[in-house]
Amino acid sequence: MKQINFNEKKGFICDMDGVIYHGNKILPGVAEFIKWLNDEKKEFLFLTNNSGYTPRELQQKLFRMGLEVGEEHFYTSALATATFLKEQSPGCSVYAIGEAGLIKALYDAGIMMNDINPDYVVVGEAKSYSLDTLTKATNLVLGGARLIGANSDVSGPIENGIAPACGALVAPIEIATGKRAYFCGKPNPLMMRTGLRLLNCHSAEAVMVGDRMDTDIISGLESGMSTVLVLTGVTTPEILATYAYQPSVVLDGIGDIVRMAKGE
């Protein structure tokens, strides 16, 4: 594996679930990492595939954990999904299964809700997910609506294990209809390019930090960024060994970036 000179890097794109927190529990070293980013005047963005929260809700979640981070430092797969649909089909309508983060992003992009004959069925993480919503979505897709997933993650870490994520929730609709969803979150290069643009960074100047090989690391790698895999989420050394591609650096947690940067 390569080494990264973190002091020379201009920007950092970080995943959240499994990197910054598990559920409502902050992970070790996160406060030190954010302080280092601010002290060193690094550009940074928390880029999450979780579509359930708005940037403001993510800001408030970190604030409740004792971390002060501006709302402008958050970008979600819900925002990426809304941006994609707005560019593809301005003023389109959707049947959406998701939480506030997804619904607000769609409304803010001028996209209308429609459960009769929508242009798209859009699925994100959703506590309201049920056999009824699944059946509705399936029949709308069979009727001609195009299927969109906020992200392709099949699971995500929580405090006491894992929870099914968007990719797992979309799968029954794909199986029942024979239609494949288009996923807007990581590792979609559209989301990564947006992240780099928000950082005002070239890919060679940036680092992608994540806990998943199949979304975080592959998206950073294919965007030309240095990549850091942290072992605080879903990937173990045994899982890592099964991949043909590898991250630039593997660390126990995000706080190790600060220790490496300080030469400790």
Q: Which residues are catalytic?
A: 15, 17
Nearest to 192 by CA among 224, 167, 165: 224
| DSSP 8-state symbol, 212 | -
What is the radius of gyration, based on Cα positions, of the chain?
Answer: 18
Cis previous bond, 187, omega within 30: yes
The tokens 């294919």 sit on which residue?
Answer: 222
The backbone torsions φ and ψ at residue 138, rounded to the nearest 5 degrees and listed phi first, read: -60, -45
Q: How many helices (H) and strands (E) does the chain have?
A: 10, 15
Backbone angles phi, psi at 118, to 5 degrees: -70, 160
Question: In angstroms, rounded to a whole number, what is the distance separating the alpha carbons of residues 179 and 121?
Answer: 12
Tokens of 251: 């660390």
- The answer to whether 182 and 77 have CB atoms below 8 angstroms apart is no
Q: For residue 76, with 0-12 CB atoms within 10 Å meaning exposed, 13-18 middle and 19 or more buried, which class applies?
A: buried
Euclidean distance between CA atoms 49 and 77, whole angstroms? 5
